[in-house]
Amino acid sequence: MKNLLTDIAGVRVGHADDAALGSGVTAVIFDTSAVASMDVRGGGPGTREGSLLDPVSTVERIDAIALSGGSAFGLESGGGVQAWLAEQDRGFRIREAVIPIVPGAICFDLLNGGNKAWGRFSPYRDLGYAAAAAAATDFALGSVGAGLGATVANLKGGLGSASATTQSGIKVAALAVVNAVGSVTVGDGPWFWAAPFEIGGEYGGRGLPASFTPDMLAPRLKGGPAATAVENTTLAVVVTDAVLTKTQAKRLAMIAQTGFARAIYPVHAPLDGDVVFAAATCEKPIDPLYGLTELGMVAANVTARAIARGVYAATALPFPGALPAWKDRFG
């Protein structure tokens, strides 16, 4: 286990980003199409193919997921991922037609200091293609891909991942792009809200403070009263090797959203666009009641850990007024 989303066999992740732009794309590629659904809790989401992921919709499986910066411009990244898959003859087949199925979601990073004067067309479709082409079983965390331009209330945000195995032997892993309106750390200190779920010092091993003061519980919000509903989002992809139906994948996404509440304070606000995708590679059977409940519990834990790791691994952007990284402040 590498503590990455790619601990699930048949899953690869690729990044493409532009340092001057201060933004990028991350592609999650499934070697064989996966059963998938989605849960949205934030008040300002930006998604692609969201209706297709509804359990009542016909298509059961997807080929990839595109995560991007760039706000609504970044939705074009899915077209780039789709183009790469089409070159591989991957997709949903209707007689001789082949249509790659690529849901996606975006976060807002347009005000982070990068050069967004890209001209008539945004770069996100090309970045999506490059991210898909770069997909591999090893991938970087922190200020990379869709997490390059991400921030939270008081620190640089980023991209994180984590994995675990349930007691019944089912693997589950998460990847998160952390661009929240709230904070992932307690007050102004180094402690992560997700500290109780940390494994092996994966985000610094600082634990929680000995006690909580009113100041620690006061809200720290990105942009304060000036924040808007499109500026903030946390995106997560949860993947398991369990055999799930599309309806069960929807339930898994819903339970995994608990991990957001364990890692971000406050969360699911009108200012957030929080989205969880859940996908299953369908390798191992699972009990539909107790087994799915256990899987959701562990999925929430790995989601919380992925969020904390994303901020822990981040590096500050090289632009005037950029927020510091966690390691800049706390070592």
Average pLDDT across each block of 10 residues of the chain; the chain has 331 residues. List them in order: 97 98 98 97 88 95 97 97 97 95 96 94 98 98 98 95 97 97 93 97 96 89 55 88 98 97 89 90 96 97 98 96 95 88
Secondary structure tally for the chain: helices H, strands E = 7, 11
36 in Cβ contact with 51 (< 8 Å): no
Structure tokens at 95: 């007689």
Structure tokens at 244: 């799930």
Backbone angles phi, psi at 291, to 5 degrees: -60, -45
Structure tokens at 93: 């087949």
Of 276, 282, 269, the residue nearest 307 (C-alpha) = 276
39 in Cβ contact with 130 (< 8 Å): no
Structure tokens at 165: 């195995």
Q: Distance of alpha carbon 20 from its chain centroid, rounded?
A: 22
Distance CA 87, CA 91 (A): 10
What's residue 229's pLDDT? 39
Distance CA 85, CA 92 (A): 11
Q: Distance of alpha carbon 281 from its chain centroid, rounded?
A: 18
Q: How many CB atoms lie within 10 A of CB 318?
A: 11
* pTM assigned to the model: 0.96
What's residue 231's pLDDT? 54
Dihedral through CA 79, CA 157, CA 15, CA 29, nearest 10? -70
Backbone angles phi, psi at 27, to 5 degrees: -115, 130
What's residue 198's pLDDT? 98
